[in-house]
Amino acid sequence: MSRKVLITPECLYKQPGRHVELFESCGFEVCYPEDITFTRGLFSFDDCVKVLAPYDAVLAGSEGYPAEMLDALPNLKVIARFGVGYDPVNVPHCTKLEKAVTITPASTHDAVAEMTMGLIFAIAKSIIPNDISTREGAWSRVVLYPVRERLIGLVGLGRIGRSTAIRAKLLGMQVIAHDQFADPKFVKEQGIELVSLEELLQKSDYVSLHAPMLPETKYLINKETLKLMKPDSVLINTARGGLVNEADLLVALTSGQIRAAALDVFEQEPPSPDNPLFQLKNVIASPHMAGLDQVSVANMAHEAAECITQLSKNQWPEGKVVNSELKTSWSW
């Protein structure tokens, strides 16, 4: 009987590519949900189980995998996340049930770094409001903000943070970072100062979040930490929506406590159309697209497919399995 894999990310829906070729060459039947929006997490529990039940592996998008759902999916062996975040998956329960959870750490960092810099430029150079006003017949000559010679504080110096740091340095920005696990060699080579979160928030002109979503990082940016930021500073979040308390951010933006924010991620995704942040002119919103460009999508899909196919052969994709404690006992 052939093995079956379900591919849920919308951008991969019924799209050819190296990932499909790899699956088929390894004897997998490649399938997709009937509804392209399945991955948005809007289906009922019973409907999700019905969709997922037939499959040995899932190349997974944003849909959730809580404990009770995992219990209802005895055939599922691998959840290969399309990206580096895995907060929608109950990893401890996957480990208990001997289901491997993988990520694609080698594929997204450059794309997210590019988006981060793009959002910084969009705010500093007033690209969106000036486009709108010029189309409406206005001719705004309000002086813009510089990016060069400004200080960017990176909260998190993993692959994405490092990729952002390199780009910021090349643009003439000063870079500081907060990360207790930062690579000392990289920090020294790039001349980056490691500081406390408090000092980073107090000093930075641009605060860019690149931390994972963990219990200890939930609402990392809140009423108290926002008070530490400079009045003309900008918050950039291309990491996870749960890092920022949106209610507190709304107050900070409307009161002039900080100048602006650019958000690629939200507490609720998709966010409600009546999210009050969308009414603010000093907010740029993006639909969780930072890691999705043509190159990164192809690379993530292939990397995730490699994880599934290797595990199906009882080979271990080093550095890509979140619950690595399964290594010694793994058997497809």
Segment 163-171 long-range contacts (CB within 8 Å, at least 24 positions apart): 163/109, 163/110, 163/112, 163/113, 164/112, 164/113, 164/116, 164/117, 164/208, 164/210, 165/190, 165/192, 166/113, 166/190, 167/113, 167/114, 167/116, 167/117, 168/117, 171/117, 171/147
Residue 89 tokens, joined? 């998956």
41 conformational bin, left if phi > 0, alpha if psi -120 to 50, beta if neither: left
Using alpha carbons, list the distances in angstroms from residue 278 to 116, 163, 247: 19, 29, 12
Same domain, 230 and 298: no
Same domain, 151 and 269: yes
| Residue 281 sits in the same domain as residue 297 | no
Please identify which residue in the block is written with the tokens 């951010």. 249
Q: How far apart are CA 304 and CA 307, in angstroms?
A: 5
Please indicate, yes or no, whether residues 85 and 32 belong to a single structural domain of this protein. Answer: yes
Indicate whether 95 and 179 sit together in one domain. Answer: no
Task: Check whether residue 76 and residue 173 sit in a common domain.
Answer: no
Q: Which residues of the chain have pLDDT under 70?
A: 1
pLDDT for the residue numbered 85 = 87
Model confidence over 240-261: pLDDT tens digits?
Answer: 999 999 999 999 999 999 999 9
Query: Is the CB of residue 244 less than 8 Å from the CB of residue 221?
Result: yes
What confidence score (pLDDT) does residue 158 get?
95
Count how many domains the chain has: 2
Helix H segments across the chain? 18-25, 45-52, 67-71, 91-96, 109-124, 127-135, 159-170, 184-190, 197-203, 223-227, 246-254, 294-312
Residues 146 and 243 in one domain: yes
Q: What is the per-residue pLDDT for 1?
A: 60
CB 241 within 8 A of CB 265: yes
Half-sphere exposure of 38 (CA within 13 A, CB side): 24
Q: Residue 97 and residue 43: Cα distance in Å, rounded?
A: 23
Q: Which residue has the tokens 């529990």?
A: 45
Intra-chain end-to-end CA distance of the chain, in Å: 14
Domain of 58 in residue numbering reads as 3-107+293-329
- Note the pLDDT tens digit of each residue in 188-242: 999 999 999 999 999 999 999 999 999 999 999 999 999 999 999 999 999 999 9
Strand partners, 102: 80, 321
pLDDT at 2: 80
pTM of the model: 0.88
Q: Can you give the CATH number for the domain in which 34 is found?
A: 3.40.50.720
- Residue 259's nearest CA partner among 213, 328, 205 is 205
47: which DSSP letter?
H
Same domain, 139 and 281: yes
Q: Same domain for 300 and 170?
A: no
Give yes or no: residues 88 and 226 share one domain: no
Instruction: Find, among 109, 213, 182, 195, the residue nearest to 152 by Cα.
Output: 195
- What's the CA gap between 96 and 71, in Å, rounded? 10
What residues are annotated to the active site? 240, 269, 288
Provide φ and ψ at 190, rounded to 5°. Answer: -90, -5
Does residue 114 share a domain with residue 96? no
Strands 193-194 and 260-263, by their bridges, are: unpaired
* 140 and 263 both lie in a single domain: yes
Residue with tokens 């399309």: 82
